[in-house]
């Protein structure tokens, strides 16, 4: 169902209540779609459908399109530390700002695909047979690998007109094994999926599992920046050290130069140890962001509603924090693009171009 949002809420989502007058002017000049009357309880109000928010965000928002298509991987070797949450929030923020965004689900758990709202109506399906048939029909990366489908056939729209996902399917496990048996086994995703996607999308976000498997190494090879959560828990310290070591070794060995952005997650404001860990990360981890994601039920609720934290809790402190974090990640990626533009890394628009032509008409 299409939901409508009033002017105040739209301004909050794009980071500043004072945007209200700018949005009103853009509406008057016809530069954004007109607001419509909608029913809210017993009252009629005016507002915009969620589907047109990308057209407004592109004009007034803070998360501007990058100069060239960008691929991000979200990964660390621990589960439950907000990888999929970060993927969801980055994806919706980018899409709300008018970027053509595609999430690539690489974790068999399928959390990001669910969080984006893919097949969220399955629970209401009439009977089990129907549901099973629909699930069987979902094609994914392993079907692309085996040549049964083309790339455009596995990309599904979710939640916003410019937001898409390549959903995880159970066969990802087999794909991981198959990748072990081909030449250039770390490059399949980059060459056959991410580079072709860059012809049509502004942003590609890969949500990884917590394991160093072939899908993960493929995602690292394919990305311009790694977004990696740092859980603010004592037992994550050791995990992080080992992870940092492996990451450096892999980068060096493969000659990769992606940016690493570390994001502290799940800290509790009122627990001293948690704050100490947060401060330690910020003082000692190269590439750690100045703001993290606090422990919050609002973030969990947002995920269950297939929304970003800012959309769900736009007036709460956590929304301000998330916006600052999104801006910081954006700036880090932008600076990295500038630095690498001179090194011949520009515009990796190669192999497979044309294979996803059909998708164009779907925006």
Ligand X SMILES: Nc1ncnc2c1ncn2[C@@H]1O[C@H](COP(=O)(O)OP(=O)(O)O)[C@@H](O)[C@H]1O
The neighbour count for residue 349, using CB atoms within 10 Å, is 13
Give the one entry of ligand X, Mg ion, none that residue 300 binds, where binding means its C-beta sits below a cut-off of 5 to 8 angstroms depending on kind. Answer: ligand X
Q: Taking the complex as a whole, how short is the minimal distance between the CB of residue 82 and ligand X, in angstroms?
A: 4
Determine contact, residues 109/209, Cβ cutoff 8 Å. Answer: yes
Rounded to whole angstroms, how far apart are CA atoms 216 and 208?
6
166 is written with which tokens?
């390549």
Q: Does residue 217 interact with Mg ion by CB under 5 A?
A: no
Tokens 């070794």 identify what position?
249
When asked if residue 228 is in the footprint of Mg ion (CB under 5 A), the reply is no
Q: Nearest approach, Cβ of 96 to Mg ion (angstroms)?
A: 21
Greatest Cα pair distance in the chain: 64
Does position 83 interact with Mg ion (CB under 5 A)? The reply is yes
Rounded least distance, CB 208 to ligand X, Å: 9
Q: Does 306 bind ligand X (CB under 6 A)?
A: no
Give the one entry of Mg ion, ligand X, none that residue 80 binds, where binding means its C-beta sits below a cut-off of 5 to 8 angstroms depending on kind: ligand X
- Binding of residue 79 to ligand X (CB under 6 A): yes
Tell whether residue 111 is a contact of ligand X (CB under 6 A).
yes
Q: How many CB atoms lie within 10 A of CB 133?
A: 11
> In which residue are the tokens 């969620």 written?
50
Is there binding between residue 84 and ligand X (CB under 6 A)?
yes
Question: Which range, of 17-25, 38-46, 74-82, 282-290, touches ligand X by CB under 6 A?
Answer: 74-82
Answer yes or no: are the C-beta atoms of 59 and 18 closer than 8 Å: no
Which of 85/169 has CB closer to ligand X? 85
| Number of residues this chain uses to bind ligand X (CB under 6 A) | 16
Q: Show Cβ contacts of residue 282 under 8 Å, excluding neighbours closer than 6 positions.
A: 264, 288, 290
Site for ligand X in 3-62 (CB under 6 A): none
CB 75 within 8 A of CB 87: no
User: Which CB, 151 or 322, lies closer to Mg ion?
Assistant: 322
The Cα 55–Cα 101 span in angstroms is 14
DSSP 78-104: -SSSSHHHHHHHHHHHHHHTT--EEEE
Residue 349: strand, helix, or coil: coil
Scanning the structure block, which residue is given the tokens 């509603």? 305
Q: Does 111 bind Mg ion (CB under 5 A)?
A: yes
Q: Which of 84, 176, 216, 314 binds Mg ion (CB under 5 A)?
A: 84
By CB under 6 A, which span of 165-173, 196-204, 247-255, 298-306 interacts with ligand X?
A: 298-306
User: Taking CB within 5 to 8 Å according to partner kind, which of Mg ion, ligand X, none is near residue 97?
Assistant: none
Q: How far is the CB of 295 from ligand X (least distance, A)?
A: 4
Q: Which is nearer to ligand X, 151 or 261 (CB)?
A: 261
Rounded Cα–Cα distance for residues 215 and 213 (Å):
5
Count H helices and E strands in the chain, helices first: 16, 11
In the bound state with ligand X, the residue whose beta carbon lies nearer, of 217 and 306, is: 306
Residues near ligand X (CB under 6 A): 79-85, 111, 266, 293-296, 299-300, 303
Binding site for Mg ion (CB under 5 A): 83-84, 111
């Amino acid at each position: 169902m299409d939901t409508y949002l009033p002017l105040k809420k739209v301004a909050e989502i794009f980071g500043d209540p004072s945007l209200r007058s700018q949005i009103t002017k853009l509406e008057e000049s016809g530069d954004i779609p007109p607001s419509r009357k909608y029913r809210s309880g017993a009252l009629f109000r005016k507002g915009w459908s969620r589907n047109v928010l990308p057209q407004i965000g592109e004009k007034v928002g803070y998360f501007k399109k990058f100069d060239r298509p960008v691929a991000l991987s979200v990964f660390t070797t621990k589960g439950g530390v907000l990888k999929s949450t970060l993927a969801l929030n980055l994806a919706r923020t980018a899409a709300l700002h008018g970027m053509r965004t595609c999430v690539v689900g690489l974790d068999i758990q399928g959390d990001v695909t669910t969080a984006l709202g893919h097949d969220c109506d399955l629970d209401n399906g009439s009977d089990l047979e129907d549901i099973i048939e629909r699930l069987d029909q979902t094609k994914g990366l392993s079907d692309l690998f085996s040549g049964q489908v083309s790339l455009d056939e596995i990309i599904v729209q979710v939640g916003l007109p410019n937001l898409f996902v390549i959903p995880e399917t159970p066969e990802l496990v087999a794909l991981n094994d198959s990748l072990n048996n081909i030449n250039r086994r770390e490059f399949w995703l980059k060459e056959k999926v991410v580079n072709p996607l860059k012809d049509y999308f502004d942003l590609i976000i890969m949500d990884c599992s917590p394991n160093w498997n072939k899908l993960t190494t493929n995602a690292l090879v394919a990305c311009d920046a790694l977004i990696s959560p740092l859980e603010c828990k004592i037992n994550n310290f050791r995990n992080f050290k080992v992870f940092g070591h492996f990451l450096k070794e892999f980068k060096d060995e493969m000659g990769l130069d992606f940016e690493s952005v570390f994001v502290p997650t799940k800290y509790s404001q009122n627990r001293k140890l948690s704050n100490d860990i947060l401060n330690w990360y910020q003082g000692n981890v190269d590439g750690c962001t100045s703001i993290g994601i606090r422990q919050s039920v609002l973030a969990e609720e947002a995920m269950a509603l297939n929304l970003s934290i800012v959309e769900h809790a736009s007036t709460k402190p956590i929304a301000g924090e998330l916006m600052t974090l999104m801006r910081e990640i954006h700036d880090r990626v932008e600076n990295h693009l500038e630095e690498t533009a001179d090194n011949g890394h520009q515009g990796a628009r190669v192999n497979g171009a044309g294979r996803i032509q059909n998708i164009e008409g779907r925006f």
